[in-house]
Structure 1
Amino acid sequence: MLENRKQIQKEIYLPIATYCLKDKQYYIKEYGALLIKSAENSDIFNTHKNRILYKNKLDIQEIANELNVNKATIQRNIKKLEKLDFKILKIENTLNGIVYCLPSENNIDLNKFALINYEMLKKMVNKFKSNTIKVYFLLKTITTETNFKPATNSFIAENIGLSSKSKNNLDIITSSVKTLEENKYIETKKVNVYEYDKEKLREVPKIRKVYRICNFDEWKKEIDKNKVD
């Protein structure tokens, strides 16, 4: 029975809120960790149902250890998630105790939520920085697993709450993209596009970076390959 439960967990997809990526109080690592725990500690395996997590089953110290931060930081950041205007985390009283509610009614709408496989999210939350995770979920809203779409570093920075006027912020985007590609979450390539130059009065070639989201099988293949290596 336990093995069946673990297998189901690995196959489910969890909804990450994407409509608040710009908000600096959106602690996406902690939010992702709560989603993961909701999958591990509840019997809600339907992607499109609101997720819940009983507070008395939540081990904050365990999350702190997994994210490699102290317990007080996790507690503080969860409190800030509760206060977000976007209402992505709610506290409710039930007959069985206090629960964290993670609403996902609109998770099919990519402007509000993006779905990610449980295993992919767990690896991401435990391994990547918050900005890298935000970059991934922003890209999930603008591109797909089959098509490449363009996005500049400036666009990405502004849409995860960083000023594009800062070279340091643009370097953060470059580093985040590199991390995501190395870990097979995304694929990038450079293409030539033509733009009309009003001064030269002619079309000129420009190099653009385009992005594609890697699917679970591609990601898993890379993970298994690294285990062998």
Structure 2
Amino acid sequence: MNMLKKKALQLIERQLAKTGTVLEVRSWTPSTFYEVDLHLPGVDMNKWNAVQHMKTKVAEYVYRDYTPASWDAETQTCTLYIDASHDGDGSKWVSQLKRGDKICYLGIGGTNAKPINGSRILCLGDSSCVGHFLALEQLVGKGNLSGALVINEENHRKEFAHYFDTLLEAIPPQLSSNIDNLHNWLKEQQWGSNAVFIAGNVAMVVGLKQKIRSLPDFDGAIKVQGFWW
């Protein structure tokens, strides 16, 4: 990063940076997926009518977007569900977090993922969007959202099924392409009046959207959110 960009980011941090406190960190087995409980003082979570994203500092001059999920507006607490299976600044940051640490973030803003009147929601994605879909489920209410997440680790799939009371399914990567994994799962489902939300790897999101659009019996809404390349 050149000096001009560094100075600009320093200015933004001085003006916008906020802090939260880590209440607890839980790693799944193997330790490539984490739950991070946060206290975010001053955040009015009652206003959240769409899935949010936090621009979180994970290294000097490096920020990553994470989804605050499982929030409690009264206590101003939430949980980040972070896939750390890729070797990067975010994975290194979360693996070193511990209770009592302070985190820095530049703000919290809404995404295009929100309830759609009159529609049940079908979600398709990978392990990077666990928090994204759990947050959406909190907004639409249990029973109004279902779907599938491709999760590579067998034990992570077991932990997902054990920890969360949800209609979301953790499915194994039976094929090399998650586009095909999710498309095959989708062909076995009843569409009804579902709207489809796709999130995760950008190439997967684009390819799966194209496949769904080509299905002869689908005429619903599709919303997408790419998280990583």
Q: Normalising to structure 1: TM-score of the pair? A: 0.26
Q: Normalising to structure 2: TM-score of the pair? A: 0.26
* Higher RCO (CA < 8 A, seq sep 6+): 1
